[in-house]
Structure 1
Amino acid sequence: MKMLIGGEWKAAASGREMEVVNPATWETVGTVPSGGHEDAGAAVDAAGEAFAPWADLPPVERGKVLFRTAVLVREETERLAATLVAEQGKPLREATDEVRGFAHVLEYYAGLSSSLYGESINTKAYGRIIVERRPLGVCAGIIPWNMPVMIAGWKIGPALTAGNTMVLKPASTTPLTTLAIGDLFLKAGLPAGVLNIVTGPGETLGEALVTHPVVRKVSFTGEIGTGRHVAETAAQTMKHVTLELGGSDPMIVCDDADLAVAAAGAAGGRFYNCGQTCTAVKRVYVFSDVADRFRELLVEKTRAITVGDGMEKGVRMGPLNNAAGLERIETVVEDVRDEAEVLVGGKRPEGKGFFYEPTLITGLPVDAPSLREEVFGPVLPVVEVEDLDEAVAAANGTRYGLGASIWTKDLGRAERGCRDLEAGIVWVNQHLKAPPETPFGGVKWSGTGRENGPHALERYTEEKALLIRS
């Protein structure tokens, strides 16, 4: 496949290409251009030319294009989901849900397009004050490989609805489905240049987008180190920035919780997408009085997970997406073997693919350093605590603050969890779900800004004040 620039499919200016590999089989499933600074410049130029006509369209007309694209995506769900499995590795059921979720996001913002608003204030001293919300201009979206389709929707939907144009850079390991969706945007009538999709390494292509003086906003999803660099670099040209930088999401299981439901929630919340989700359950704090029974139920749920190629029937967990991720998970488990007990898993199966068994660990002290970092893979530590005070303190004892959950039947405990847990989103008796109506983002080092909901629309606009005296 080629890059989408200005409504046309183009190779990289350098002629170089990158292979896309199936993480379950190590087979090459496609090639894409390996773009650089020249390609980024061409995409930004195309987006710049398309901006004024697109921004001048009535918002409802922009929404109609998004809705038509959503219809085409739903019609092509089977093909798109199979492509997503091949490049990312997740089971077909999860890939299908993600593609449908992308369509849902577009439908949501298409609906919001009729309600974009400003403010009007009448004053005696100054006349009428009107506050308009104007689109920013050319925006850059940099998306990761773990949820490439859904996160693309979180950036494209509000950006285009608000009247901006966009240059989107998918991760190098998962560009194929995003490019296929780009073609559907064109078929739905999106004007050339409004959405451009470029492929290439982050250190060249991504850097070129972040430094380009015409780009007015960068929305980046990825890890903390890169996110800090994006923020520092974007500040040089006063760009707007949204950063979602991962999390170490805690799950607190109180002694009055429905343990069977909580165990199912922990297994689903951790091992979905092979644990490669920013808001996955990364650590469980369970009250000591019910810890033994909770572990028994969680072990049962974990052992029932079938691992394999995502296209195979009955598979519930695929491989990690890449070799580096697999190596990190192996290191994490080996580093804690001396102080913890591995209840389930703890090793890589034989054969091809970046597979690792779903793994449960117990026995770590509540202040173990490994509990404070993000573990991006199928490893779940279960830690005993005495009460809610200890659980909340441990949950907050990290630089991350993306998501958290508390499992209890007590309304007072639930309210305290919602109030005191340092996270951008807190679930009660559930974890992981983030519908497009929900503002999504973190506190502390998990990032700045929000995606989803009407809040995201605001972050793709800026206020313009008009003072009118008749």
Structure 2
Amino acid sequence: MITLKNFIGGELCDPAHGNYLDNYNPSIGEVYAQIPDSSQEDLHAAVNAANAAFPMWSQLPIGERSKHLMKLADLIEANLDQLAAAESQDNGKPVSLARKVDIPRAAANFRFFAAAIVNDGTSAHIMEGQAVNYTRRAPLGVVGCISPWNLPLYLLTWKIAPALATGNCVIAKPSEVTPYTAHLLGELVQEAGIPAGVLNILHGRGAGIGQMLVDHADIKAISFTGGTSTGKVIARSAAEQFKKVSLELGGKNPVLVFDDCEFEEAVATSVRSAFTNQGEICLCGSRIFVQESIYNEFKEAFVSKVQKLKVGDPNTTVDMGPLVSREHLQKVKNHVDQAKKQGATILTGGEKIERKGYYFEPTVIEGMDEYCAINQEEVFGPVVTLVPFRDEADAIAKANSTVYGLAAVIWTNDLKCAHRVAHQIQSGIIWVNCWMLRDLRTPFGGMKASGVGREGGEEALRFFTEPQNICIKL
């Protein structure tokens, strides 16, 4: 049994009240760790440590802050195997996926923003014969970063890195479902020599320590990734204090497959975009709309590939591991059962896998229009629907038929069509003839109920700073 600790003021420490939560290994459905159930006292200690560290950290030369973050990136890479194993044990994802994607991306996040701050510039505006104005971007102070369970270290570092790079001190709250790599990150922060109090990590329930973090008057901004319903609660709480928020929320992403696409590539990539990480990625394509003229051909090829996906122990060579928790497994099953009752046709899958752990079959559904529940609600699992469309206008209408607007994929060899359709889809991210190609310089985030604000590149640097104009008379 592993006992995780909070990371406050540069030290790994027990929760103030001595309360812990069970943490489960989803591949076997058993408790393997105890995690702190943090309290107001723990938050108070973390805020004090961060406030004490802020003057020094914010005034540290940019080059020195950059070196600290580069060192942390090096240590993440050096501990790739340990971190990947921990991520798989905690989340259920294949360890091969964690080794290839999650942990390298966590290192890349620190490396990217460490480089960004030393290459950033400021603006100056000259009033001829009168004055010079220059704009500085000042760090906010102590900020809160709350991350989800699906890409635990990947998304936690995506928030922490720009916040630290711009001179803020951070209190991070990882998901209570997947806290292990955040605990290990605290150990690496110690080893990297990052000053005490600059980064603090508190474990516990979202409705508990997470809400306390959002409500605390000394927390100047909240960066949150998670469910839309939780995002609404955070937005309301933050609004009362005029606190900055960045909310990366749910998605119900469309994939539009036109009849002039590169067929084999469209099929293979659509399978990957639907079932990578058990479909537990906010960017997964869960609604696949296919032009009528190739619908049956696409369906046959797609289902055939899905049926060949291997589901099993994430420590072995598999395409999918278990879902993250018993509760989430039941949620996914309930969505599929509801679709069956409403007349959906299950082309493959649709059931729990009877074995130890939280496994669900990769599932393909057809026979439902774009307004049914399975095409409107975020399932966040290995479930995808197939729906035919007539023409561009029909495809666009179907793509835009949900409250979400995070990402979309367009498959066509007609460049003009790609531009026309992309400009009319209400999504923050559009991939054409690809999926999950990510340039860290680009803005990341969604429209409508998929969020507020953008992460990544200059957008992240701006979010974690406040512009201040200084006018000097000539």
- Change over 3 Å in CA distance of 1:412–1:175 after alignment to 2: same
For residues 210 and 360 of structure 1, the distance between their equivalents in structure 2, rounded to whole angstroms, comes to 39
Q: Deviation per CA, 1:210-237, whole angstroms, max 9, x where unpaired?
A: 0100000000111111101101101121
CA distance in 1, matches of 2:364, 2:452: 32
Which of residues 28, 31, 55 is equivalent to 1:28? 31
Q: Which residue number corresponds to residue 168 of structure 2?
A: 164
Deviation track 1:434-463 (CA, whole Å, cap 9, x = no partner) reads: 342221101111111111112211111011
Match of 2:448 in 1: 444
1:400 aligns with 2:404: yes
Matched, 1:11 2:14: yes
Pairing 1:60–2:63 present: yes
Instruction: Indicate if the aligned counterparts of 1:330 and 1:347 stay in contact, CA closer than 8 A.
Output: yes
**Does the Cα contact within 8 Å between 1:366 and 1:384 map onto a contact in 2?**
no
| Matched residue, 2:242 | 238
How many residues were matched structurally?
469
Pairs within 5 Å for 1:184-263? 184-263=188-267
Partners of 1:134 and 1:243 in 2: CA distance: 21
The residue that corresponds to 2:51 in the other structure is: 48
Identity %: 38
1:391-419 CA-partner distances (Å, limit 9, x unpaired):
11011011100000100011011111221
2:283 is aligned to 279
Equivalent residue number for residue 154 of structure 1:
158
Contact 1:283–1:382 (8 Å) recurs in 2: yes
3-state secondary structure, aligned to 2:454: coil
TM value normalised by structure 1:
0.98
| Matched residue, 1:318 | 321
Q: Secondary structure at the match of 2:404?
A: coil
Q: Which residue of 1 aligns with 2:421?
A: 417
SS in structure 2 opposite 1:139? strand
CA distance in 2 between partners of 1:77 and 1:445 (Å):
35
**2:121: which partner in 1?**
117
Quick one: which of 90, 95, 109 aligns to 2:93?
90
Alignment partners' CA distance in 2, 1:249 and 1:59: 39
Asked if 1:183 is matched to 2:190, the reply is: no
In structure 2, distance between residues paired with 1:233 and 1:392: 35
Q: Does the 8 Å CA contact 1:364/1:383 hold for their aligned counterparts?
A: yes
Residue 125 of structure 1: CA displacement?
6.5
Report deviation, 1:356: 0.3
**What is the match of residue 265 of structure 1?**
269
Question: Mean alpha-carbon deviation: is it higher for 364-373 or for 80-89?
Answer: 364-373
Contact 2:412 2:432 in 1 (8 A): yes
Q: Where has structure 1 moved over 4 Å in runs of 4 or more? A: none
Q: Could you say which residue in structure 2 is the equivalent of 1:463?
A: 467
Q: For residue 126 of structure 1, report the CA deviation from its aligned partner.
A: 4.5
Aligned with 1:297 (options 298, 301, 304):
301
The CA RMSD over aligned residues, in Å, is 1.1
CA distance in 2, matches of 1:380, 1:328: 15
Q: Is the CA contact (8 Å cut-off) linking 2:370 and 2:376 kept in structure 1?
A: no
Contact 2:171 2:201 in 1 (8 A): yes
Asked if the contact 2:370/2:401 (under 8 Å) is kept, the reply is no
Q: Distance in 2 between matches of 1:435 and 1:180?
A: 27
Name the residue aligned to 1:71.
74
Q: Which amino acid aligns with 2:11?
A: E
